[in-house]
């Protein structure tokens, strides 16, 4: 029965199946195969489909075998070179402004393409190289990977305020192919830029002071020079310059090897910040401090007269025919303390410093004490690197340095700022600020609006008044040594200094020191000109006078005077 049924559907077709519903043929939906008879799938076709499926499967498994077994290690190495790296995003360094908002250090895109991070740009104003300093840039190895990811402050403000200026680097993911070509980048941590820094320095004033010093150096044969102006109440430095200087951009880029070599081999030492790192024989600018100590120790009445005939002669008990001569720079005649300061009499200060005849002197112990009390022979604390401490001579120093005993002549010379005495301009401007503000020893600094902590060195205002009067006479009294600073618009109290230096005292350092306004001091100043021939007639007070003249026109507010009205 079963076989017949199979044969029927496989081999025979009945008439009624062919003519199935022949009467309803027009109603069939032929698109849905109505009225059609389905034939069974032939075995041959099933075999063909099975064969094709087997071939495809074989090809697929062959490819898997080839990729994983035959070439697996090769493709694995290629895949590893198509990788995603994490790299650093260098943060921008903070911008530096002067006290008036002028940018003096900022960031720029490197147009040469050498660096793929911001490069530092520095003001073209002269005289600020040692103040601003420079940086070294982040570095990559020969594979392009950073091995130094920070800017390194090398000197000046860039070093001193590195914690403020430096930012926080970010990071990103970089996809590269086997040829190290960047495929894509994805920033994962944004960099944080460094903070702005507003300096107390007036960049234009510093440049003007620099230009005046440079011109004067060329005119008179000075080797170099430096100048600084300090607020006597806050410790802010209004101007700071050192001649000669260098270009910070040249040092940061490091490409101009020839120019950098010329800096290194220059006998004028352009890398040295002479205000902070240069120690020089101060000469007569120490005399106001000696005068104050003599008053405080009741050595002499300020109104007592001492006569200078041009020298004092100290007998030699061992050889009476060979006395010691200690010369004044001229015979000043009779003078009190105020005139002695004004005339800068060596004889007067020899006597009150070391004593002579019936007039006692301070002696070296008290001299050294007063110098150190005003901050000489020690660091001021300014955070501008490489500060020198200088030397205040005393018996211990002489014994250690020369293996020799202290003598009266050593005291005489120390009382006029000679012998082994060495001081920096920043020490002296700090000391003069203390003279001006009533005895507050401040730490000099470069941040606008910051007030230094003050150390009270307990000065007597009555004695200070006498010293101030002597310094004012130095400017406005006939025979005063700082007459070049006399003006109608501002009263300046000052002291000049000429220190003999070099073999055979063939050269001199010239100093100008003081403060203004005389009545209510706001600013102290130091201007130092280094190593000119003794024949030079151009002194630091004249040079500082040119600086004050520039301020009267361009910065009258610093002098406490009103700007001149322009006429139509």
Report the pLDDT value the prediction gives residue 146, as an integer from 0 to 100: 83
Q: For 103-107, 287-291, 386-390, which range has the lowest pLDDT when averaged over its residues?
A: 386-390
Tell me what the mean pLDDT of segment 29-53 comes to.
67
Confidence tier at 455 by pLDDT (50, 70, 90):
very high
Mean pLDDT of the chain: 88
* Residue intervals in the chain for CATH 3.40.710.10: 203-559
**Two structure tokens written together for 359:** 């007039």
Whole-angstrom Cα distance, residue 332 to residue 355? 19
* pLDDT confidence band for 565 (50 / 70 / 90): very low
Span 515-531, mean pLDDT? 96
Split at pLDDT 50, 70, 90, the class of 51 is confident
Average pLDDT estimate for 510-527: 97
How far apart (Å, rounded) are the C-alpha atoms in residues 25 and 189?
77
pLDDT of residue 564: 53
Residues of the chain with pLDDT > 90: what percent? 68
> Tens digit of pLDDT for each residue in 3-22?
555 555 555 555 555 554 55
Does the pLDDT at position 78 exceed 50? yes
| C-alpha dist (Å) from residue 34 to 20, 157, 424 | 11, 96, 115
Whole-angstrom distance, CA of residue 417 vs CA of residue 414: 5
83 pLDDT band (50/70/90 cuts)?
low
**Region at 168 (left for phi over 0; alpha for psi -120 to 50; beta for the rest):** beta
Residue ranges, comma separated, of all CATH 3.90.1310.10 domains in the chain are 84-198
Residue listed under structure tokens 């230094």: 452
Q: With H, G, I as helix, E, B as strand and everything else as coil, classify residue 51.
A: helix
C-alpha to C-alpha distance for 414 and 353, rounded to whole angstroms: 8
Structure tokens at 510: 């010239």
Cα–Cα distance between 494 and 473 in angstroms, integer?
9
Superfamily of domain 84-198: Penicillin-binding protein 2a (Domain 2) (3.90.1310.10)
The third-level CATH classification (topology) of the domain covering 203-559 is: Beta-lactamase (3.40.710)
Q: Answer yes or no: is pLDDT of 526 > 90.
A: yes
SS3 243: strand
**Structure tokens given for 454:** 């003050």
Nearest to 269 by CA among 306, 243, 240: 243
Asked whether the predicted pLDDT for residue 232 surpasses 90, the reply is yes
Percent of the chain with pLDDT over 70: 86
Residues 6+ apart with CB under 8 A from 448: 99, 198, 199, 200, 236
17-31, 407-421, 435-449, 468-482 — which is least confidently predicted?
17-31
Name the CA dihedral angle for 540, 445, 394, 409, rounded to a multiple of 10 degrees.
Answer: 10
Q: How far is residue 407's CA from residue 314's CA, in Å, rounded to a whole number? A: 12
Q: Evaluate if residue 568 carries a pLDDT over 50.
A: no
């Amino acid at each position: 029965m079963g076989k017949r049924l199979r044969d029927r559907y496989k081999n025979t077709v009945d008439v009624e199946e062919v003519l199935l519903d022949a009467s309803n043929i027009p109603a069939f939906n032929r698109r849905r195969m109505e009225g059609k008879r389905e034939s069974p799938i032939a075995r041959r076709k099933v075999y063909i489909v099975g064969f094709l499926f087997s071939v495809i499967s074989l090809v697929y498994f062959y490819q898997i075998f080839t990729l994983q077994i035959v070439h697996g290690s090769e493709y694995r190495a290629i895949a590893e070179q198509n990788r995603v790296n994490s790299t650093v995003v260098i943060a921008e360094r903070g911008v530096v402004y002067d006290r008036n908002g002028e940018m003096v250090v900022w960031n720029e895109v490197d147009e040469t393409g050498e660096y793929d991070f911001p490069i530092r740009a520095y003001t073209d104003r002269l005289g600020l190289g040692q103040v601003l300093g420079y940086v070294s840039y982040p570095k990559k190895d020969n594979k392009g990977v950073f091995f130094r990811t920070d800017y390194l402050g090398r000197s000046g403000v860039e070093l001193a305020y590195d914690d403020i200026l430096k930012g926080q680097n970010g990071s990103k993911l970089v996809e590269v192919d086997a040829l190290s070509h960047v495929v894509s980048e994805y920033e994962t941590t944004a960099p944080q830029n460094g903070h702005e820094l507003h300096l107390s320095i007036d960049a234009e004033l510093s440049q003007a002071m620099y230009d005046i010093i440079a011109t004067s150096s060329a005119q008179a044969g000075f080797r170099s020079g430096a100048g600084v102006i300090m607020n006597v109440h806050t410790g802010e430095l209004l101007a700071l310059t050192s001649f000669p200087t260098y270009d910070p951009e040249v040092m940061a880029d490091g490409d101009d090897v020839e120019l950098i070599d010329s800096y290194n081999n220059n006998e004028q030492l352009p890398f040295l910040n002479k205000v902070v790192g240069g120690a020089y024989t101060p000469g007569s600018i120490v005399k106001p401090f000696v005068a104050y100590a003599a008053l405080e120790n009741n050595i002499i009445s300020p109104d007592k007269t001492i006569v200078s005939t041009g020298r004092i002669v100290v007998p030699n008990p061992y050889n009476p025919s060979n006395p010691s001569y200690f010369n004044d720079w001229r015979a000043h005649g009779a003078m009190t303390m105020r005139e002695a300061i004004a005339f800068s009499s060596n004889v007067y200060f020899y006597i009150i410093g070391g004593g002579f005849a019936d007039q006692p002197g301070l002696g070296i112990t008290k001299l050294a004490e007063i110098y150190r009390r005003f901050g000489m022979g020690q660091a001021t604390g300014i955070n501008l690197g490489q500060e020198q401490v200088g030397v205040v001579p005393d018996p211990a120093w002489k014994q250690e340095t020369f293996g020799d005993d202290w003598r009266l002549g050593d005291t005489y010379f120390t009382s006029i700022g000679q012998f082994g005495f060495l001081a920096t301009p920043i020490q002296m401007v700090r000391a003069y600020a203390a003279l001006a503000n009533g005895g507050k020893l401040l730490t000099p600094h470069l941040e606008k609006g910051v007030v230094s902590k003050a150390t009270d060195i307990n000065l007597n205002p009555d004695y200070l008044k006498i010293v101030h009067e002597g310094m004012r006479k130095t400017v406005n009294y006939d025979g005063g040594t700082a007459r070049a600073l006399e003006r109608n618009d501002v009263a300046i109290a000052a002291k000049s200094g000429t220190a003999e230096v070099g073999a055979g005292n063939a050269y001199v350092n010239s100093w100008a020191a003081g403060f203004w306004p005389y009545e209510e001091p706001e600013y102290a100043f130091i201007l130092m000109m280094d190593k000119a021939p003794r024949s030079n007639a151009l002194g630091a007070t004249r040079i500082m006078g040119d600086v004050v003249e520039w301020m009267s026109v361009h910065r009258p507010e610093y002098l406490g005077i009103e700007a001149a009205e322009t006429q139509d």
